[in-house]
Structure 1
């Protein structure tokens, strides 16, 4: 048995920007980029042709959105702007650390997070006091696939040294986190089973 956890909404709560396009625009302008007048429209368009379920890193999207309006910015500038724009306050949810350590007593434990922003997961783990608690940390921007795509769950299972069918995934969204059942694994919904009750849920594993 191996257990993987979702991050945002499961182990931590964060304050996301209400208007991501506007925050990114301000960070771009502070780095000398001439943001187009219709930036909100450009930001909302698809600019990278990716397979269904694949993750498009947000810096790549931002760079292509600018390019679509004739504004050139290196992906490095776009990356720094995006990382600065998504720098939220982080609150570790009650029982999160205990749940992770409870799972670790039973086998390898990992993190599987949908996140298109580089560095955000690592910074979040540090701020939440969860760095070093996982045997493997897999992000969609790192592995290239977003939950519920099977390849996302296969990536974390491989990193933990188990078959996907041996994976129990703990998350808050049946649509995304529940995708683990498609690879033969088991989903624990924290909206129904609180983190404080995870130990009993793991003991009840078929």
Structure 2
């Protein structure tokens, strides 16, 4: 058995911007970008079509939204602005360390996270004292697929050099994390098994 964990809402709690368009606009302005007057409308509009299950990278969306208003920025500027806008306070959830340690006793451990902001998962892991890091990090923005699509769980199993049938995925969202079950892995949802009980369940072989 190998184990993957969702990150946000499962292992860590974070403060997200109440007004994401405004947070991104402020971050862009700090980098000398002339933000259009109708930025809110541009940010909320679709500027590219994605196949079902595909991730839409937020930095790409921001570049396209600005370009739709005649403002050009580099990929690096958009990426940095988006990362800073969403890199808010983060705290470790109770039971996270114990769950990771118990999972590591069974084999390699991965983070499998839906996140459209490049680098945010890695930055969050650096800033959170989880005692040990994962053996692999799989994000939707890097893999190109969002949970519950089977492809992101397949990528996670591959990263752990395991089959889907060997993978147990722990998460807090029945719609997204529950997709592991439909992909051929097993899912453990915090609504049924609180994080504080995950470590005990792993050590006793009940998960």
State the TM bucket, normalised to the shorter chain. over 0.9
* 3-state SS, counterpart of residue 177 of structure 1: coil
Partner of 1:180: 180
Partner of 1:19: 19
Tell me the alpha carbon deviations over residues 40-82 of structure 1, each in whole angstroms, 9 at most, x when there is no partner: 1111111122211111211110000011112111222111111
1:201 is displaced (CA, Å) by: 3.1
Query: Which runs of 5 or more residues in structure 1 are unaligned?
Result: none
The answer to whether the aligner puts 1:98 opposite 2:98 as a matched pair is: yes
TM-score, length of structure 1 as denominator length: 0.95
* 3-state SS, counterpart of residue 105 of structure 1: helix
Partner of 2:109: 109
1:191 is displaced (CA, Å) by: 2.3
4+ long deviations beyond 4 Å: none
The answer to whether the aligner puts 1:82 opposite 2:82 as a matched pair is: yes
What is the count of residue pairs matched by the alignment?
Answer: 205
TM-score, length of structure 2 as denominator length: 0.95
Alpha-carbon distance change, 113 to 131 in structure 1, aligned in 2, over 3 angstroms: farther
Partner of 1:129: 129
**Aligned alpha-carbon RMSD (Å):** 1.3
Partner of 2:35: 35
Q: 5 Å matches for 1:148-159? A: 148-159=148-159
Partner of 2:54: 54
Partner of 2:189: 189
Partner of 2:160: 160
Alpha-carbon distance change, 131 to 142 in structure 1, aligned in 2, over 3 angstroms: farther
Alpha-carbon distance change, 36 to 143 in structure 1, aligned in 2, over 3 angstroms: same
1:118 is displaced (CA, Å) by: 1.5
Query: Which runs of 5 or more residues in structure 2 are unaligned?
Result: none
